[in-house]
Amino acid sequence: MYEFQYHRPASIDEAKKILADNDEAIILAGGMTMLPTMKLRLARPSDLVDLSAIDSLRGIRKDGKTIEIGAMTPHADVAGSSVVQSEIPALADLAGMIGDAQVRNRGTIGGSLSNSDPAADYPAAVLGLNAVIKTDTREIAADDFFKDLFETALGPNEIIQAVRFPKPKRAAYAKFPNPASRYAVVGVMIAETTDGIRAAVTGAGPCAFRATEIEAALAKDFSATALDGLTFDAGDLNDDLHASPEYRAHLVIVMAKRAVAAASV
Amino acid sequence: MSITVSFTLNGEPVSAEVDNHTLLVEMIRDQLGRTGTHIGCDTSQCGACVIHVDGRSVKSCTMLAVQAEGADVGTIEGVALNGKLHPMQEAFREYHGLQCGFCTPGMIMSALDLVQQNPDPSEQEIRQWLVGNLCRCTGYQNIVRAVRAGAQAMRS
Ligand SMILES: Cc1cc2nc3c(=O)[nH]c(=O)nc-3n(C[C@H](O)[C@H](O)[C@H](O)COP(=O)(O)OP(=O)(O)OC[C@H]3O[C@@H](n4cnc5c(N)ncnc54)[C@H](O)[C@@H]3O)c2cc1C
Ligand code: FES
Ligand code: FES
């Protein structure tokens, strides 16, 4: 790793100030992406701003029909939360499928979303469940958040504070994991929300996206068989050593069917 | 830039001068001399470096020493009590859960975290939990048996 200055501010304001004063400063959350990237010398921050001492960023709160999860909440807390398990079981399940136990103990929802790894799981939850991302300056709708490969709507130095998930009528996530890393080759979140059916796909494209053809088919008939015969266009999908675009297109439909079946029980 | 990091290691207060970029596993091995925690991959994959920080299992190759300031850190050296193997260690010996032993400290620290959350894990639950711990020798069968037996011994 290159040298850097380390800071552990106790408040958002203090964190903002360090970020503003240092052009090359970067936020550190769980470090599960940041530290491996720095070890490979793919990142050279002048300063690391560790958010772990800001208590208000951590925790899970139920507020009427929504669940709010602080940005620094580790995946293990979401997976193990009795509130999340009873209100939005699909979200607890998804968090429990991320990486391995030690990654879940450190990795955070804020870090995962800011990073927008094409194979990350949380983007499918945020997009599929129509969540809202609260930053230190504004609220961003899930539909406006994911822009491209490792690119989001976040501005420079904008800090995610929490993510608010409305409770769906029913939802489920199905994932085809890479057997080595556990990242999603393809993952699909299917949800019936108060605003209709949503189908969010991760792993398949440069960033998470909604599959409108699946949503349309499920709006007519919410059953796995409603997707029989549906094909997904492989055109823009990822092509790498793990899977071809055609295989990913096939997996999108298979994972969508599994998620619908799981959401229906 | 060097900085003093202090935390509790297996119940004892420790501190050392480290660089900001010193990894927690490097501080534990090189500065504090506890070499039971291993470095296998250094890329967050293999789990040879698993230790406990504030009661949870983490990969110490993917944490900075400075991030452990003030924490309660547990390593394999703190597991045996008064020279007597912990039931989980005893189960690994009894069930041949190790061959070369390189992965074993990480396996045991990971298994102990599992058992504190789930005192009676099924074979499937043990396999799922240990996906972040790689073993090049055993083929895992005896590790899974050892963890089941260790969990049972810890319950009784
Ligand atoms: C072995 C391994 C397996 C994994 N498997 C999976 C998997 O199966 N599925 C999956 O989804 N993920 C997986 N991950 C990723 C992991 O789950 C983390 O979510 C991810 O690394 C990012 O979270 P973090 O808290 O570690 O963030 P960090 O690594 O600390 O930060 C990541 C990025 O986000 C920025 N950032 C962090 N917090 C904020 C914030 N609050 N506001 C603004 N910007 C912020 C940082 O500056 C940095 O650019 C895996 C990681 C490893 C090491
Ligand atoms: S050395 Fe830390 S996971 Fe391999
Ligand atoms: S016993 Fe040799 S790596 Fe596991």
Domain segments of chain A: what residues? 1-53, 170-263
The pLDDT assigned to A265 comes to 78
User: What is the CATH T-level fold of the domain A170-263, as seen in this structure?
Assistant: Enolase-like; domain 1 (3.30.390)
The burial of A241, by beta-carbon neighbours within 10 Å (0-12 exposed, 13-18 middle, 19 or more buried), is given as: exposed
What angle separates helix B141-155 from helix B104-117, to the nearest 10 degrees? Answer: 50
Which token pair is B43? 């890329």
Displacement of CA B150 from its chain's centroid (Å): 15
Report which bound ligand comes closest to the CA of B24: 2
Q: Is A53 helix (H, G, I), strand (E, B) or coil?
A: helix
When pLDDT is averaged across residues A102-111 and rounded to a whole number, the result is 98
B3 contact residues in A (CB cutoff 8 A): 6
Closest A-chain CA to B43 = A36
Give yes or no for B59 touching A (CB within 8 A): yes
When pLDDT is averaged across residues A153-182 and rounded to a whole number, the result is 96
Strands A184-193 and A170-177 turn out to be antiparallel
Q: Name every residue whose Cβ is closer than 8 Å to that of residue A49 and which is 6 or more positions away in sequence.
A: A7, A9, A15, A18, A19, A25, A26, A27, A28
Q: Could you tell me which CATH number the domain at A1-53 has?
A: 3.30.43.10
CA of A102 to the centre of ligand 2 (A): 11
CA neighbours within 13 Å on the CB side: how many for A265?
8
Give yes or no for B64 touching A (CB within 8 A): yes
Quote the mean pLDDT of chain A. Answer: 97
pLDDT band with cut points at 50, 70 and 90 for residue A130: very high
pLDDT band with cut points at 50, 70 and 90 for residue A224: very high
When pLDDT is averaged across residues A162-182 and rounded to a whole number, the result is 96
CB A170 within 8 A of CB A263: yes
Give yes or no for A196 touching B (CB within 8 A): no
Report which bound ligand comes closest to the CA of B107: 3
The backbone torsions φ and ψ at residue B12, rounded to the nearest 5 degrees and listed phi first, read -105, 135
The backbone torsions φ and ψ at residue A260, rounded to the nearest 5 degrees and listed phi first, read -60, -45
When pLDDT is averaged across residues A224-236 and rounded to a whole number, the result is 94
Note if the pTM is more than 0.90: yes
Angle at B129 between CA B66 and CA A208, to 5 degrees: 75
ipTM here: 0.96
The pLDDT assigned to A264 comes to 87
CB A67 within 8 A of CB A167: yes
Domains of chain B (ranges; CATH) run 2-78 (3.10.20.30), 87-155 (1.10.150.120)
DSSP state of B91: H
Which token pair is A132? 């809202």
The burial of B8, by beta-carbon neighbours within 10 Å (0-12 exposed, 13-18 middle, 19 or more buried), is given as: middle
B109 contact residues in A (CB cutoff 8 A): none
The pLDDT assigned to A180 comes to 86
Sequential pLDDT tens for chain B (156 residues)? 689 999 999 999 999 999 999 999 999 999 999 999 999 999 999 999 999 999 999 999 999 999 999 999 999 999 998 999 999 999 999 999 999 999 999 999 999 999 999 999 999 999 999 999 999 999 999 999 999 999 999 998
When pLDDT is averaged across residues A173-191 and rounded to a whole number, the result is 96
The pLDDT assigned to A167 comes to 97
Give yes or no for A96 touching B (CB within 8 A): no
The pLDDT assigned to B2 comes to 86
B84: alpha, beta or left? (left if phi > 0; alpha if psi -120 to 50): beta
How close A172 comes to chain B (CA, Å)?
Answer: 20
Which atom of ligand 2 lies closest to the CA of B47?
Answer: 3
pLDDT band with cut points at 50, 70 and 90 for residue A9: very high
How close B25 comes to chain A (CA, Å)?
Answer: 13
